[in-house]
Structures are given as structure tokens and as C-alpha cells.
Amino acid sequence: MKASEATQLYFENAADKVDLDDRMRKLLLAAKREVQVQVAVELDNGEIETLVGYRVQHDNSRGPMKGGLRFHPDVDLDEVRSLAALMTWKCAVVNLPYGGAKGGICVDPKKLSHKELERVTRKFVDQIHDIFGPHTDIPAPDMGTNHEIMSWIRNQWEKYHGFNPACVTGKPAEHYGAEGREEATGRGVGILAFKLLGRLGRKPKDTRVAIQGFGNVGMHAAKFLHEADFKVVAISDVSGAYYRPEGIDVAKALHYSLNHGRSLTGFEEAERISNTELIGLNVEMLIPAALGGVITMDNVNQIRANIILEGANGPIHPDADRILNERGVTILPDIVANAGGVTVSYFEWVQNLQHYKWGLNRVRQELDHVLTQAFDQVWQEANDRQVSLRTAAYVIAIRRVHRATVLAGI
């Protein structure tokens, strides 16, 4: 099943609950604009490489469109189309005044030199600068991109349009970025794990957690959960998974990773296991925080966790999701669980527009407030309708986007 088909399936399940007619379903599912460009760039050795870049703008009924830019060899139009729609529902469910967009380039950034990466970024902006900006579509970091790349994007965009740091978010603090943006997605996962546990009548100290992925999201989620007294027993990255039943010293793991090129290779404070084994560990909470599509029909029966938080986008195949729900596993869906990043991106955008900088404490307090309010609404909707948290989240999101579309006039 394609990524866009999975997103559409979740949409249709929720649309049935609110009796959305076929014409409105077609309208809300269709992207406003899909752009594909050729990015020609000169490599350090003098050769010319032509890459394919995308920007899909899904919906703007609730405000400017918002979504990350992904540099990854698996980027294609279907994936970007799916992620753009997810951003629409994500922004709506946490009630941010945005629609959804997404973009990316089919490239492995690890195979590019620093100068090549900059040239690729600037060439991409040259191709799409006229379709994004602070009041139309605001990009942000995603897989394979970071705050430095956002600075290049801002600088290149401003060459055409003049000073306006609100044209992109996820920038360094020195370039009008928000304090706490880098930690935001992972911290949001941690905040919501704590809230969910409270609703289930459980305590952090009695909750063993396995986190698949120790990149930006997994790293900050692990840090927050460890400090909140959860027992993080497993973490992983591309080098493999690391398991310690008594609990991993997350501070040591963070220090090791940061001092070894963001890699856990050689980490000796825990037993090395495979990422496949991590999925099936005997834990209470599983957090897939790496790539999408990691929980499938092939491994769903190995899962023993009864709580899953989707730190990554689309980590569970719809058929596996159905089986887990039938087994009574509580799943907090991606459009809620990993919404911390876009929420703090919103705070950054607001600060840029107002030319007024917030402190870290305010950013964290506002993040907690927005995510708590969204989670409470999703939990209440799920209980009122007797549906999964995923369906409840989509119901709220669809209702808000539908209302805004109708009010604006079609």
C-alpha cells in the first residue's frame, strides 16, 4: 500500500463518522498544488548532477501552508503527497492556523560534501521561491535537513523577496530561530507520553520504554522520558539497537552519540540487538521514531507493548494498525504524537512576524499548553464516539478543515 493510500484510508474511516459527503471528501483529499522541479547542480569534481525536487501544497483553508523539506534517497511524489495531507490534519488537530504542505529532494545528503549540499539547497530555492513565503507556505526541517539548511533557504529566498525571516522556520537562534525548536518534536512525544500514561492510570516509574530511532526525535524523547522517571530500556539508530533491561543511562548515550558523529556505534553501556528485536521487546511502551512503515503484517504479532506513540510519520501499516487496535493496544497517532515540531515552528513564525523573541521557558510552557489541549480533545472524542485515538484525531481535524472550507466559500 502506498503512503498516500494509507493516509486516505485513515481519512475515509474518520469521514464516515462525520457523514462527510463524497463531493467534500474529494475536495478535502485533493492537493491544491503539486510541483516537481529539476535541480541541476555542479558537484565538487565538476560533474553536473540533476536531482528531482518536490513541493506539494495540500490545503490553505485554515491559513498559510506549513510543512518540512526532506532530503532522502526515497523521496518521491507519492510520499510527499501523503506527508502534505498529514500536515493538514496535524495542524488542524492541534488547532494551529495552518494548512499542510511538504517537500523534498530525492538525494542522499550523506553522499554530498558540505558545499554540494549548500548548492543543492540554493538551486532548489531558485526553482520554488515564488510559491513559498511567510503568508503562503512556510518550509521547515525534516529528515535529512537541519537548521543550517534552513538558514541557506532563508538567505536565498531573501535575495528575491527581501528581509523576512518568517519565510522558513527551524532556523538557528542566531538567524531568528526559536529557542527549543530542535528539541520540540521529541519533547512533545515525551509530554504526550506522560499525559497518556496519566489517562491510563499508570506511573512512569513502572513503564519500560523502547525507542526506535535516536535521531533528533528519539534523542530528545529519550531525554525527556528519562528525566520524567520512565525506564528507557532500549534505543536504536542505523548501527543497531541497544538494550539494557535495568534501564539505559540516557545521559551517557546522548553524550556518546554526540561525540561519535551522532552515532551509537560501539556504545558498550547496553547489549547490542537488532532493530527487529527492539520492536518485539517486552516493554509497556514502544515509540517508533525513525522511518515510516516499520510495523507491518510481518512483525505485528511480535509486538508486546500495549502503548505505542508514533514519533515518526506513518510508522504503522493500516492492516497492522487494525490488528493492534483489535488487541486493545493504545496508539497515539502521528498527527498528535509528533506535532511538537510544527507547534514550535508556529511559535517561531509568530515571533518573526512580531519581531519579538520569546525565552525558552515560555516556548516550553506554550508547547505543553497546546499539546495538552489537543490531547484532551482527542481523548474526549475517542471516548464519546468509542473509536480509536487515531480516528478521533482525524474526526477533529476533518471537522475543522471542513468548517473552514465551507465558511470561506468553495
SS3 121: helix
DSSP label at 139?
Answer: E
The residue type found at 316 is I
* CA separation for the pair 363, 369 (Å, rounded): 10
128: number of Cβ within 10 Å: 20
Residue 100 φ then ψ, to 5°: -110, 145
400: Cβ contacts below 8 Å, ≥ 6 apart: 62, 92, 93, 95
The C-alpha cell that represents 61 in the structure block: 483553508
Residue 57 φ then ψ, to 5°: -110, 110
* CA separation for the pair 46, 42 (Å, rounded): 6
The C-alpha cell that represents 258 in the structure block: 554526540
| E strand or H helix at 252 | helix 250-258
The C-alpha cell that represents 362 in the structure block: 515560555
41: number of Cβ within 10 Å: 20
DSSP label at 133?
Answer: B
Q: Which of 188, 206, 209 is nearest to 198 (CA)?
A: 206
First and final CA of the chain: distance in angstroms? 31
Confirm whether 17 is a catalytic residue. no
Options 102, 123, 195, 231, the catalytic residue: 102
Give exposure, 10-36, as e/b (b: 16+ Cβ within 10 Å): bbebbbebeebeeebbebbbebbeebe
Catalytic residue numbers read 102
